Amino acid sequence: MKLSYLAVVSLITGLSALSQNSTGPWPNTEPQADVKITGHIFKPPQLPPPDLGTFRIPAGFRLERFAENAGNVRMLAVSDDGAVYVTRREQADVLLFQAGTNGLSSGPPRRVASRAGLHGIAISDGKVYLATVHEIFRAPILEDGSFGPLEMLIHNLPDAGQHHTRTVQIGPDNMMYISVASTCNECTEPNPENAALLRASLDGKKRSIFASGLRDMIGWGWHPETGELWGMDHGIDWLGDDIQPEELNRIEHGKRYGWPYVYADNQINPRGDPPGGLLKREWAKSSTPMVLGYTAHSSPMQMSFYRGGQFPAEFIGDAFVSMRGSWNRKPASGYEIVRIRFEKGKPARIDPFVSGFLSEKGEHGRPAGNAVAKDGSLLFTDDRNGIIYRLSYSGEEKGTLKTSSSIPPGPMLKQSMAEVRLPLAMADARTRTSGELKIRSSAIVEGGTIPPIHSAYDQNVSPALEWTAGPPSTKSYVLLLEDPDAQITPLPVVHWLAWNIPTTALHEGITGADQLRVPSGMRQGLNYTGAVGYEGPRPPEGDPAHRYHFQVFALDKELALNPGIAREQLLKAMEGHVVAKGLLKGLFSRPENPRKPE
């Protein structure tokens, strides 16, 4: 009977991490992996929901069932007037509950939206935003709490694969943020928007990668006092019962968070290697380690920051996370609500807060969503049993309701670099030199039109380029493609950033990887979309032709820069080492009938 739900798997990997580079036989290698990993597939028996009295909750708190028999209830959202909304992935809809004077549901729910794959939900400025696998929808919230017509803002989020949940929120900077998980447990994603947090305009017409290396960050949010963004990321499976921990990260623009090659505090994943011969220890240098970790395989879901109202004042600024529970660990972990304690805006530790879904006999439910109700109580869902719970505080030490629920926008606005306008790299004082390079392309004549295949509206393939050699002191070349004519900031808009180029020619169709084998050792940084490598011209409809500047610099050294850097880091490293430079300009306008419309 025990084996009906338990399988023990022992994995012995003898995977080579050797990285061959075309400049010589096996240079710069990493040690061969020889790691024994013992993991479990352990799914505890599914049992009925526990009696309310068996839950372990802090003193002074009371637990009730807000609603029952609600189906596969997942993510929660609460409107300004106290209406409670919950998404149901299996039923592909959104239910509306109205809270009564006792804080519990006042009657049966109403279905207010229905779309296949629906999961994420956010409410902002009287509107609801809904996330499915590929789409983001928006609708006005009507007086009776129902939704108006759903408007599709985004239709082309990446394919899902292993992780098909999407979450959406509106930030304090009035931008839309969308979490897109990885397609796999651990792999090199062909689409850079997977395993990432995206940032988009509220109309969905412009979006970019805000942060990457996030395997499956379902729960995240902004600290109500500092305005900083924090998120809980799911760890990799099959690294062992206690590896990897679930990660709490401070999410910042342009940063990477390890996945798939490193994890936790930048520990090396023994499986898999970055493309182009890049070493995992080099990948780790560009990765931001976690701030706090929690028990491996606990499966963090929705996160909510407490802004006050009912719980004691010490809870203000803390976060609650629903841990849905493990399947890849023995003993089982998760099946609880945890509290992330923040001290002066910084996370100090993660503690169990509501326990009781897991017993020696099995699991009694799986927490998924949570949200703070208008009265300051905490609501959380059990998506297996169809129950929404309400945790209220009845003790004497009550907190005060914050009069403003606004989150400081400063940290997010600062990261957006709004209104920053800088000179082209050619005109930057750090690239000053008297040496000249001549650049030409078989596809582009000086000042001529760039063919559509090289634009993001078509094949998005980089053009072939070549240039004259630099002076004898030249050791490498740098390439920047910039657009100073866009209506967005920061300017110039970076479309391509590459360094340590060992040759005076690049073939058409350079792949988007941190490091290349051809040409050997060339590295690439972040373009304006937040992805690595070339991103072709994409002027918006109505704009006149934009000028695109292909700029090549000869340097008297190779640059010891981590992969995935941005423009400013590159220019800073180039200062004092530019011995020649050249420019090729091309023009491009949006086609009337683009092959890849917005």
User: pLDDT tens for residues 439-467?
Assistant: 999 999 999 999 999 999 999 999 999 99
- Rounded Cα distance between 138 and 526, Å, is 30
- Write out the chain's pLDDT in tens, 598 residues: 333 333 333 333 333 332 333 333 344 567 778 899 999 999 999 999 999 999 999 999 999 999 999 999 999 999 999 999 999 999 999 999 999 999 999 999 999 999 999 999 999 999 999 999 999 999 999 999 999 999 999 999 999 999 999 999 999 999 999 999 999 999 999 999 999 999 999 999 999 999 999 999 999 999 999 999 999 999 999 999 999 999 999 999 999 999 999 999 999 999 989 999 999 999 999 999 999 999 999 999 999 999 988 999 999 999 999 999 999 999 999 999 999 999 999 999 999 999 999 999 999 999 999 999 999 999 999 999 999 999 999 887 666 655 456 899 999 998 876 558 899 999 999 999 999 999 999 999 999 999 999 999 999 999 999 999 999 999 999 999 999 998 877 889 999 999 999 999 999 999 999 999 999 999 999 999 999 999 999 999 889 999 999 999 999 999 999 988 999 999 999 999 999 999 999 999 999 888 887 6
- Rounded Cα distance between 105 and 86, Å, is 13
Give pLDDT, residue 418.
59
Give pLDDT, residue 97.
98
Give pLDDT, residue 6.
36
Q: What is the 3-state secondary structure (H, E, C) of 371-433?
A: EECCCCCEEEEECCCCEEEEEEECCCCCCCECCCCCCCCHHHHHHHCCCCECCCHHHCHHHCC
Q: What DSSP string describes 463-501? A: PPEEE----TT--EEEEEEEES--SSSSBSEEEEEEEEE
- Rounded Cα distance between 257 and 287, Å, is 5
Q: Taking a C-beta distance cutoff of 8 angstroms, is the pair 418, 557 a contact?
A: no
Give pLDDT, residue 28.
57
How far lies 364's CA from each of 45, 51, 488, 497, 515, in Å?
9, 10, 51, 52, 48
Give pLDDT, residue 581.
98
Give pLDDT, residue 24.
36
Give pLDDT, residue 183.
97
- The gap from C-alpha 249 to its chain's centroid, in whole angstroms, comes to 11
First to last CA, the chain: 55
